[in-house]
Amino acid sequence: MWKLTLALIVSLVLGVVLVNAAGAVTLVFEGENYSWIKPTMTVGTGDFKGNDSGGHVYIKLRRPHAENETGPGDDGNTTYKVYVPVAEDYTLWSLVRWYDGCGNSFFTLVDDMSPETPAYITDARYQEWHWVKGKKFHLTVGWHLIRFQNREDGAKLDQFLITTADEFTPTRRMPETSAYLWRPSE
């Protein structure tokens, strides 16, 4: 209960409510609202809903597109500095669109994880936006870095979320909890 109370207090301070009735904490971020970006990660227009005012980030297709598992052409990435209000195990979900079987993954790196860590998201649904479940990881209270990094060209990211809920499968775009994201001042 104290965790729920703490999360509610933090939510009130930050001006958003992210704690549901069951006490789960869910933080949602837009791919295109990153803290830092490194090419060949690129900002694109359009999102899951076909909404042209929305955006995503993606790894540009190589010419020619990789046709086998040759490894990424660079370490292009977006990094998100996020504030975690409750120490807990969090599951990563990502709203992605894959190009094909050789363009269907991102490294998903938390804090000091490196691409040598076998942490990435993938599945076999191509050419349509859908949610993909990632790993569960423990986060302490405070600021953390979450990075989506080039693993295969042609991969796109509209949104991602971290949640303490075990029995939760997102099926649509979620309201962004931007108060929990650090962005450099313009």
Taking the least distance from each CB to Ca ion, the nearer of 113 and 177 is 177
Q: Identify the three-state secondary structure at position 53.
A: coil
Please tell me whether residue 153 binds Ca ion under the rule CB under 5 A: no
Report the alpha-carbon distance of residue 3 to residue 7 in Å, rounded: 6
**Least distance (Å) from Ca ion to the CB of residue 83?**
20
Percent composition of the chain: helix, strand, coil (DSSP 3-state, to 5):
10, 40, 50
**Binding-residue pattern over the window 48 to 77 for Ca ion, x denoting contact by CB under 5 A:** -------xx---------------------
Name the 3-class secondary structure at 155: coil
Residue from 47, 77, 107, 146 touching Ca ion (CB under 5 A): that is: 47
Output the smallest distance, CB 155 to Ca ion, in A. Answer: 14
Out of 26, 158, 160, 180, which residue is the one contacting Ca ion (CB under 5 A)? Answer: 158
Query: In sequence order, what E strands does the chain have?
Result: 26-30, 36-38, 41-45, 55-59, 77-84, 88-97, 105-110, 120-122, 130-139, 142-150, 156-163, 181-182
Using CB under 5 A, which residues numbered 22 to 41 contact Ca ion? 30-31
Smallest gap, in angstroms, from Cβ of residue 46 to Ca ion?
9
**CB-based burial of residue 98 (10 Å sphere; 0-12 exposed, 13-18 middle, 19+ buried)?**
buried
Which of these ranges, 5-13, 43-51, 71-79, 162-170, lies near Ca ion under the rule CB under 5 A?
Answer: 43-51
Provide, rounded to whole angstroms, the least separation between the CB of residue 71 and Ca ion. 27
Give the nearer residue to Ca ion in terms of CB position, either 22 or 43: 43
Residue 85 CB, nearest distance to Ca ion (Å)?
Answer: 23
For residue 53, the one-letter residue type is S
Rounded to whole angstroms, the Cα distance separating 30 from 14 reads 18
Residues that bind Ca ion (CB under 5 A): 30-31, 47, 55-56, 158
